[in-house]
Amino acid sequence: MKRVVLVVFTIIMVVVGVRFFNKKEMKILHFSHYIDTTAQRLTQIEKCGSCHKEVYENWKKGPHSNSYLTLKKHNKYIDSSENFPEGYNKYIEGKMESVCMACHTGKNLYETNFRDIDHNALANHLNKDSMPEVFEQATSRNIHDTEQLTSGVDCITCHVEKDQVVTNADSKSPNSLGLIKSNFFSGNMNCFSCHHHQVTTMNELVEKKVIPSEINCVSCHQEYNNKGKGTHYFYWRNDHISKKRPEHLVIFNCVKIKVENKKVLKFDWTNTLMPHGYSECGDAKAVIVAVYNNGKQKVILEQTINRKDFFDARPEMPPHFHVGKNGNNFEYKVPILKSIDLDDFSSINHFIILGYVKPQYWSDEKEFTEVYKKDVSLTDL
Ligand code: HEC
Ligand code: HEC
Ligand code: HEC
Ligand code: HEC
Ligand code: HEC
């Protein structure tokens, strides 16, 4: 009997010993997500990154860590470009501090817009009367402390509440880490302060049951690894050429063409992929090219989408926004239809659908880059 007790005791000691002498394990046992509020912002983020390496590296390559730098680049661009009339520059200078920096260098959301939020509350139960500050635009950090602005929208903006880290309600991580597991965080409200248009238009579709409520912003916009785990990389307009967008994020996949009676080409661009209004400043163009039997090519149709119409309608916008071609709001399942006469159908060999994007609808036509190409043979039509 004594021997059995001794053996069991030894086994227990070995297991406990391994747990305590394993360095990584020690760290976890004694670590809680305490935020050192006296540390410089950049130091703090690097600390997060030292444990969450993959998340940190992916965040670095994506839109949020670069949002301050792209804003700076934009400023340089407007100073040097003839596209921007003096009025625009003045407008931007006036707005820079109060407006632009807010979303491009966000303050800690859980201490500003979302302060005193009830983490058990479901985001869609909130309204402007009960919690008006939730519906406000993000606020900017200290714009005179330039260095700490360079992290743009960072871990702290999205995750930190006082000295704790906020995460999904269904997180499997141990509570001893001092995490706040939040229903509010799990909803799309995380994105609302800076992406109002997308969140509002998507919520409308969920409410009308046009799209299911299980999908959310991150499930479409975040890259997933081959184990199906989110990598924290958000696809964006300045993706490196080696980053291939998943098919569900390629809006040109919605372009359809059809020939009727060998006479008319019917063009149909119905948005079935994007469950929200088109981006504030993006610009996409679909081009249909006919390739003839003799090898010659002809552009037979061009269709641009952007939100210029929306900005045109606002008198307070500077004159710059009121020039050029109109776009289209590109709402969910509202088709853009066009018909083109084809007098020369018998000499056509096939068609090509091309897709181009430029980062901002106001940038020069020559900045359009080809991102999509699909041959459509006549037998497909
Ligand atoms: C000393 C290492 C360490 C540091 C520093 C650290 N974390 Fe963590 N964090 C962990 C560990 C370990 C877990 C639990 C295991 C896991 O889910 O990765 C965790 C979990 C999390 C989770 C929850 C994951 C889930 O399951 O929902 C989030 C979010 C998070 N950390 C964010 C941060 C942020 C933001 C910072 C910086 C303010 C930070 N962490 C700093 C080690 C660290
Ligand atoms: C309400 C939040 C918000 C405000 C305020 C804001 N932006 Fe943005 N900005 C965004 C978002 C979100 C994007 C990403 C693209 C999109 O949704 O169209 C963006 C993208 C941009 C881009 C494109 C960057 C790139 O990668 O090419 C520029 C340039 C830009 N904004 C400049 C500005 C300027 C200048 C102001 C001030 C007049 C401003 N922004 C104010 C949220 C904001
Ligand atoms: C734009 C807001 C935003 C920023 C910036 C951000 N996160 Fe997150 N983070 C989220 C959201 C939303 C989720 C939940 C993702 C999901 O459900 O797939 C998340 C999930 C996580 C998780 C748990 C899931 C996982 O992938 O392991 C960790 C850990 C984490 N973030 C750490 C960080 C760190 C560290 C940084 C800074 C380097 C950071 N986050 C920056 C919004 C953000
Ligand atoms: C069902 C998938 C899906 C969901 C969910 C979704 N989006 Fe999108 N989103 C798209 C598609 C598709 C595009 C268009 C991409 C393109 O232009 O080729 C897009 C475009 C965008 C853009 C412009 C940048 C870009 O990549 O073109 C932003 C910003 C954006 N979405 C934010 C959001 C936010 C915030 C939410 C949550 C409210 C959200 N999205 C939910 C599919 C989705
Ligand atoms: C504090 C403000 C802020 C928050 C919160 C935020 N974003 Fe962003 N987001 C931005 C800004 C600013 C940009 C533009 C970056 C650039 O191109 O300069 C951006 C860019 C993006 C882009 C790429 C857009 C493009 O045009 O390529 C996607 C996708 C995106 N955000 C998704 C999300 C999602 C999903 C969430 C919620 C989990 C979220 N963002 C939360 C400010 C924010």
**Ligand 2 centroid vs 72 CA: distance in angstroms?**
11
- Asked if residue 243 is part of any domain, the answer here is no
- Give the pLDDT band of residue 142 (cuts 50, 70, 90): confident
Q: Is 275 in the pocket of ligand 4 (CB under 6 A)?
A: yes
- Asked if residue 5 is part of any domain, the answer here is no
**What pLDDT shows up at residue 16?**
45
If one residue of 67, 151, 199, 219 were mutated to test the ligand 5 pocket, choosing by the most ligand atoms within 8 A of its CB, it would be: 67
- Spell out the alpha helix ranges (H) of the chain: 2-21, 23-30, 41-51, 53-61, 67-80, 86-95, 101-104, 146-149, 155-159, 183-186, 189-192, 196-207, 217-221, 308-312
Cα separation, 304 vs 290, in Å, equals: 18
Segment 306-322 shows an average pLDDT of: 68
Residue finishing a domain among 203, 234, 265: 234
Residue 97: is its pLDDT beyond 80? no
Give the nearest ligand 3 atom to 191 CA. Answer: 1
**What pLDDT shows up at residue 8?**
57
* DSSP track, 359-377: S-TTS-GGG-EEEEEEEEE
What single DSSP character describes residue 262? Answer: T
Q: Tell me the angle at which helices 53-61 and 41-51 cross, rounded to the nearest 10 degrees.
A: 120
Q: Is 159 in the pocket of ligand 1 (CB under 6 A)?
A: yes
- Give the pLDDT band of residue 347 (cuts 50, 70, 90): very high
What CATH number is given to the structural domain containing 315? 2.60.40.730
Shared domain check, 155 and 265: no
Cα separation, 341 vs 27, in Å, equals: 70
Shared domain check, 268 and 229: no
Q: Tell me the angle at which helices 2-21 and 23-30 cross, rounded to the nearest 10 degrees.
A: 80
- Asked if residue 226 is part of any domain, the answer here is yes
Give the nearest ligand 5 atom to 68 CA. Answer: 18
Give the nearest ligand 4 atom to 203 CA. Answer: 38
- Asked if residue 30 is part of any domain, the answer here is no
Q: Whose CA is nearest to atom 13 of ligand 2?
A: 280
Shared domain check, 141 and 46: yes
Q: Which two tokens stand for residue 155?
A: 């871990």
**Ligand 1 centroid vs 116 CA: distance in angstroms?**
22
Cα separation, 193 vs 138, in Å, equals: 5
Residue finishing a domain among 205, 234, 263: 234
How many Cα neighbours within 13 Å face the side chain of 185? 20
Give the nearest ligand 5 atom to 63 CA. Answer: 15
**What pLDDT shows up at residue 252?**
97
Shared domain check, 138 and 285: no
Q: Is 215 in the pocket of ligand 4 (CB under 6 A)?
A: yes
Nearest residue to 186 (alpha-carbon basis) of 205, 164, 166: 166
Q: Whose CA is nearest to atom 38 of ligand 4?
A: 199
**What pLDDT shows up at residue 363?**
79
Q: Which ligand is nearest to the CA of 74?
A: 2
Q: Is 191 in the pocket of ligand 4 (CB under 6 A)?
A: yes
Q: Which ligand is nearest to the CA of 102?
A: 2
- Asked if residue 4 is part of any domain, the answer here is no
Shared domain check, 208 and 84: yes
Shared domain check, 159 and 230: yes
Domain assignment of residue 104, given as a range: 41-234
Residue finishing a domain among 178, 207, 234: 234
**Ligand 3 centroid vs 138 CA: distance in angstroms?**
18
Residue 281: is its pLDDT beyond 80? yes
* pTM for the whole structure: 0.91
Shared domain check, 320 and 262: yes
Q: Count CB neighbours of 53 within 10 A.
A: 10
Cα separation, 79 vs 83, in Å, equals: 10
Shared domain check, 292 and 202: no
Shared domain check, 314 and 224: no
- What mean pLDDT, rounded, does the chain reach? 85
Give every CB contact of residue 303 below 8 A, 6+ residues apart in sequence.
267, 269, 285, 286, 287, 328, 336, 338
Q: Whose CA is nearest to atom 32 of ligand 2?
A: 71
- Asked if residue 24 is part of any domain, the answer here is no
pLDDT per residue over 40-87, tens digit each? Answer: 899 999 999 999 999 999 999 999 999 999 988 888 877 777 766 666
Shared domain check, 57 and 201: yes
**What pLDDT shows up at residue 30?**
47
Cα separation, 88 vs 73, in Å, equals: 16
- Give the pLDDT band of residue 15 (cuts 50, 70, 90): very low
- Give the pLDDT band of residue 160 (cuts 50, 70, 90): very high
Shared domain check, 218 and 147: yes
- Give the pLDDT band of residue 4 (cuts 50, 70, 90): low
Q: Is 155 in the pocket of ligand 1 (CB under 6 A)?
A: yes
CB 282 within 8 A of CB 357: yes
* DSSP track, 242-259: T-PPPGGG-GGGGEEEEE
**Ligand 3 centroid vs 115 CA: distance in angstroms?**
19
- Asked if residue 6 is part of any domain, the answer here is no
Cα separation, 106 vs 112, in Å, equals: 10
- Give the pLDDT band of residue 22 (cuts 50, 70, 90): very low
Q: Is 41 in the pocket of ligand 1 (CB under 6 A)?
A: no
Q: Which residues line ligand 3 (CB under 6 A)?
A: 45, 48-49, 52, 55-56, 59, 64, 153-155, 157-159, 168, 190, 218, 222, 230, 232
Give the nearest ligand 5 atom to 216 CA. Answer: 35
Percentage, residues of the chain above pLDDT 90 = 50
Residue 303: is its pLDDT beyond 50? yes
Shared domain check, 254 and 229: no
Domain count, the chain: 2
- Asked if residue 193 is part of any domain, the answer here is yes
